[in-house]
Structures are given as C-alpha cells and as structure tokens.
Amino acid sequence: MTISTGDNIPDIELFTMGAQGPEKTTTGAVLGTGRVVLFAVPGAFTPGCSKVHLPGFVQQAAELTGKGVDRIACVSVNDAFVMGAWAEDQGVGESIVMLADGNGEFTEAMGLVMDGSGFGLGTRSKRYAAIIEDGVVTSIEVDENGGVEVSACSAVLDRL
C-alpha cells in the first residue's frame, strides 16, 4: 500500500555518510520532527537525478527554509558511500540530509518501489517529493512517467 496524505512516516533504519564512514540513523530521527521536505530519486549519478532533481533542491534550499522548512532530505536505494560521493559531487554541503536506503526497506515501507531491472537498476525508489510535518505526510506527489515534474523543488515550493 502506498503511503498517502495523513499517514505517519514509517520508522526505518537508514544510513548517512559521516566523517568516519557510514552512520546509522532512523527515518523517525530525520523526518519525525518539524517540517521536512523529503524527495526520493531512483539512483544517484543518474542523468535526471544529477542534472535536474538534486540540483534544484541544492539551488533552492534557502527558498525552502524561507518558507518554514526545517530540514530537506534526499533518499535513494543506494549505499551510504555512493550517497556521500554524490553529495560531494553535487555540492550539497549541509543543506540536504542524504539518506541511503541500501536495502530498499524504507522504499518498500512507503509503497513506492520501482522495478528498474529492465534498464539494469534493479529495485529502486519511484521519484517523489513529500512534505512531512512532525512525522505525518501532509503532501506527497509521485512522478510516475519518469520525468522530474511534480517532485521538482519548484513544484514543492508551490505546495508550501
């Protein structure tokens, strides 16, 4: 079942890349308090994710926080090493928490699994953006057609 408006975010263990390597965290710790924008990408370093999706959030992070967003988080079914390298490559800095859902457990709990096996990606996350307030989804939009439209930062800004 796909998560929807009014649902609580599932509390799942994920990883971030710290100074000493991968660090465990939970979605409850990152997404459970305050106003959070969470966006998911099918894969780090893939063209749509690297040229449009993540850069939009990096470039407009100040606009999001200016509209009352406490935290911006990006999740992908990749490991923490890949997410850390991608964050560095994209100049994310401290503006976005990069969450590694290496086993796809959070993506599965959200009901937003994408089968990318037809083009060599295996099981990944659908592309989406959610607004979460104190752990409850207040808005979620999924790009079902493969583009970056309803999950783009500009679309999220319009929903805030």
Report the catalytic residues: 49
**What are the residues facing 15 on neighbouring strands?**
24, 100
Distance CA 141, CA 130 (A): 6
* Alpha carbon 4 to chain centroid, angstroms: 16
Distance CA 121, CA 43 (A): 8
Tokens of 159: 């929903």
CB 123 within 8 A of CB 115: yes
In 3-state terms the chain splits into helix, strand, coil percentages (rounded to 5) of 30, 30, 35
Tokens of 95: 């503006």
**3 state DSSP class of 58:** helix
